[in-house]
A and B are shown apart, each in its own frame.
Chain A
Amino acid sequence: MIKFSKRQLKTPKMQRPVYLVTGGMSKFGRSIPEKRTEELVIDSFVEAAKFIDKSPAELKEYIHSCYYGHFADHFGDQLLGESVIHDRLGLDPLGNIGIKTGGATGGSTLWEAFKAVASGYSDCVLAMGWERMDEVPTDEGNNYIASAADKDWETPLGHIYTGYYAVMAQKYWQVFGKEEDSFRQTMAEIAVKNRGYARMNPHAQGPMDITVDDVINSPVVAYPLRALDCCLMSVGAACAILCDEKTANELTNNPLEIHVAAGSHTLRVADRRDMEIPLLPNESEDMYKDLGDRFPGGDRYPGFTGFLAARMAAYYGYRMAGVIDPTEDFDLVELHDAFTISDIQTYEDIGIRPYGEGRTYVESGDCYLTNPKTGEPGKLPSNLSGGLIGNMHAVGATGIMQAIEVGQHIWGRWAEMHEPQSKWDLFGRSKPDDWTNLQVDDAKRGLAISHAGVGSHVTATILVHPDHQLERNES
């Protein structure tokens, strides 16, 4: 049984508020052979500058230090790739640092950038993330990704990372999904939804117009996971500019307050010891008293079914921003849908639903822009970008892409960034005839979750329109 000290559970308190000023992203693809990584990075930076009507040179004048998220050096076959990028962006001699936390690298990059501004070290920072996973064949890519598991205890087992997560999926599927067809259907709905939303996103690599049956009939990867339950492997870049209040207001008239928190858990799931469930502000101990009765085998926490790192990122992050109930307090979320079933697990870890009831977030229709059951706006639309399943998972860029997507909704500029025919043409993609504006009406606050593999690292990035801050309990 693991216990945490009070000091460890302290709500992070920053020295000053931090704002997201702008962000941009490149095209995402399974492979982009015509461009070097630096070119994709520059594409995203130019988009970020343009978004606030600045030239790249003008925006660069504000930047004081740089945070680079790039997970897998061996994919790029270049150590200190961050220095290459920094030089090509013409940002020497500013201080810069590389950040790598597996699938959560993008979110962790924002975390570092956020702290640099909050501490007063810098008034304006660049958080830039990218990944290049197309320069080795897929089976070598699988081996490289599997190298992020424990090299002595896990990697030799098949050299296949999906497998290390799939054992968790299996446990959740049997204990909480009870192997029900209806649960399988719900998983598939997520894949259909996210690929469908990706159709409206010119950056997206995996748009598809599919049905639940298509997902359920797609090839088995590791039962119950099928090909269409799984996220993409991608190339691309995304960046964000974070500032203190004064600098933010010099750069734009509409900065968004940003909070970033992080949690972690053992790299090997094998090592996870039992503990009491750390409660989120909208939960009580009573809620979980009979969890093991309702879901036999589900009383071992976090076991193989909960992501403690996600729980802790929300635990710190919600208290930093004054969030009580994520469904009420947020207007949209971008979640790390590496797999449909891990998406459901995350709904519980971050308190959108209590443990054991994640599926109802989908089944109620709350996760849609328009609830298909009621025809009314969904309570908390998720992954309107298409997520990792429909848009991309260019690891170092993913968490940053998610935050920018959430930001574009709060800024009310989602359509402007996704509709123009010129952008579809530039990326060589054809805009669907039924293109639909996915802008969330009147979005004020949103959340992005960035997550590594079996849950070794997770960050929660919360964006808040400054006119719509939540009351914070300073205890």
Chain B
Amino acid sequence: MSTNDRGTVKVENGRYRFKGKFHYGYPNDPIRNEDGELMGITNPRDLTHVHMYGGEAPFFEGLGQGKLLGTRCDDSNCEANGSIFIPFRIHCPDCLSKNTIIDMTETAQKGATVHTFMITERTGAFNTLPKPIRFVNVEFEGVPTILMGYLSVGEPKIGMKVVPIFNTTNPTYTILDLSWVPEETNETELPEGFTFG
């Protein structure tokens, strides 16, 4: 696929404006067995999906600006009142009222701990993370949820203190813009494009 006419989208007046190519078709090939008999065909294609972040957009925008945003239920009638959600939840899962967006960057910088982790060499198609991948599930002081992410420096351990780093140089606007490193990691050790925010 050539990338210069790759599809881009804008939203104008509440409508999508598509520009460029979103799908590329190719001729199919027959699949035969060792005796030359027809078994099936290939179905090649490339396509680009569009996906809206809706109420989560501030979170993904925030990462590129070095901010970790969470949300909090501020409905005084709700049993979960005061609960902080990170992963960012647009609505409270209990009362369904709209949560308040809060900046969790400082909390994360001060007291984030590895709850659990895993290391694997195996990935699926479209993976862009360097291998082996080190997932860390990060716990924050006073937060009932545990955020999944990946560790970019060092080896993970349960209970280890970590701090967030952000792809502020060339953001992808995905969860990959957020990563974690052990406390006291030097700025020079961070992967390309990442900063402490």
A positions within 8 Å CB-CB of B = 3, 33-34, 77, 137, 139-146, 150-154, 156-164, 166-171, 174, 220-223, 268-274, 297, 304
Contact call A162/B120, Cβ cutoff below 8 A: yes
Kindly specify which of B3-11, B18-26, B95-103, B124-132 makes contact with the partner chain: B124-132
Flag whether B166 is at the interface (Cβ < 8 A): no
Cα–Cα, bound, A460→B178 (Å): 38
Cα–Cα, bound, A288→B137 (Å): 25
Partner of A153, one of B87, B126, B150: B87
Partner of B175, one of A141, A156, A169: A156
19 extra A-B contacts, CB within 8 A, seeds A269-B146, A273-B145: A33-B40, A140-B125, A142-B122, A146-B124, A154-B148, A157-B148, A160-B133, A166-B118, A167-B116, A170-B118, A222-B122, A223-B118, A269-B137, A270-B87, A270-B137, A270-B145, A270-B147, A270-B148, A271-B87
Chain B residue at minimal CB-CB distance from A268:
B87
Chain A residue at minimal CB-CB distance from B120:
A222
Contacts of B83 in A (CB 8 A): 273
- The verdict on A143 contacting B146 (CB below 8 Å), with A33-B40, A157-B129, A160-B133 known, is no
Contacts of B124 in A (CB 8 A): 139-146, 158-161
Contacts of B144 in A (CB 8 A): 273-274
Contact call B126/A143, Cβ cutoff below 8 A: yes
Contacts of A153 in B (CB 8 A): 87, 148, 175
Count of residues in B whose CB is under 8 Å from the partner chain = 44
Flag whether B169 is at the interface (Cβ < 8 A): no
Contacts of A174 in B (CB 8 A): 116, 158
B112 to chain A, nearest CB (A): 13
- The verdict on A167 contacting B119 (CB below 8 Å), with A152-B174, A153-B175, A158-B124 known, is no
Cα–Cα, bound, A465→B79 (Å): 45
Contact call A171/B116, Cβ cutoff below 8 A: yes
Contacts of B93 in A (CB 8 A): 271
Segment 74-126 of B: residues with Cβ below 8 Å from A: 79, 83, 85, 87, 89, 93, 115-126
Contacts of B39 in A (CB 8 A): 33-34
Cα–Cα, bound, A142→B124 (Å): 5
Cα–Cα, bound, A161→B146 (Å): 18
- The verdict on A304 contacting B53 (CB below 8 Å), with A145-B124, A167-B137 known, is no
Residue among A152, A157, A158 with max Cβ neighbours from chain B (10 Å): A158
Partner of B79, one of A3, A144, A170, A171: A3
Chain B residue at minimal CB-CB distance from A140:
B125
Flag whether B62 is at the interface (Cβ < 8 A): no
Contacts of A169 in B (CB 8 A): 118
Chain A residue at minimal CB-CB distance from B158:
A174
Flag whether B190 is at the interface (Cβ < 8 A): no
- The verdict on A166 contacting B120 (CB below 8 Å), with A174-B158, A270-B146 known, is yes
Contacts of B60 in A (CB 8 A): 152
A182 to chain B, nearest CB (A): 20
A444 to chain B, nearest CB (A): 40
Cα–Cα, bound, A273→B137 (Å): 14
Flag whether B135 is at the interface (Cβ < 8 A): yes
Cα–Cα, bound, A167→B158 (Å): 11
Cα–Cα, bound, A161→B39 (Å): 31
Cα–Cα, bound, A221→B147 (Å): 22
Residue among A3, A167, A169 with max Cβ neighbours from chain B (10 Å): A167
Contact call B120/A157, Cβ cutoff below 8 A: no
A170 to chain B, nearest CB (A): 5
> What 0/1 readout, one digit per residue, does chain B (137-154) give for beta carbons within 8 Å of chain A?
100000011111110000
A-B contacts, 6 listed (Cβ < 8 Å): A137-B125, A145-B124, A152-B175, A153-B148, A157-B176, A174-B158
Contact call A268/B148, Cβ cutoff below 8 A: yes
Chain B residue at minimal CB-CB distance from A159:
B124
Cα–Cα, bound, A290→B1 (Å): 60
Cα–Cα, bound, A164→B135 (Å): 8
Cα–Cα, bound, A221→B119 (Å): 8
Contact call A223/B119, Cβ cutoff below 8 A: yes
Closest 9 CB pairs of A and B: A159-B124, A142-B124, A143-B124, A166-B118, A171-B116, A222-B120, A143-B125, A140-B125, A139-B125
Partner of A304, one of B87, B116, B120, B150: B116
Cα–Cα, bound, A274→B144 (Å): 7
Cα–Cα, bound, A424→B87 (Å): 50
Chain A residue at minimal CB-CB distance from B60:
A152
Cα–Cα, bound, A77→B133 (Å): 29
Contact call B126/A152, Cβ cutoff below 8 A: no
B193 to chain A, nearest CB (A): 16
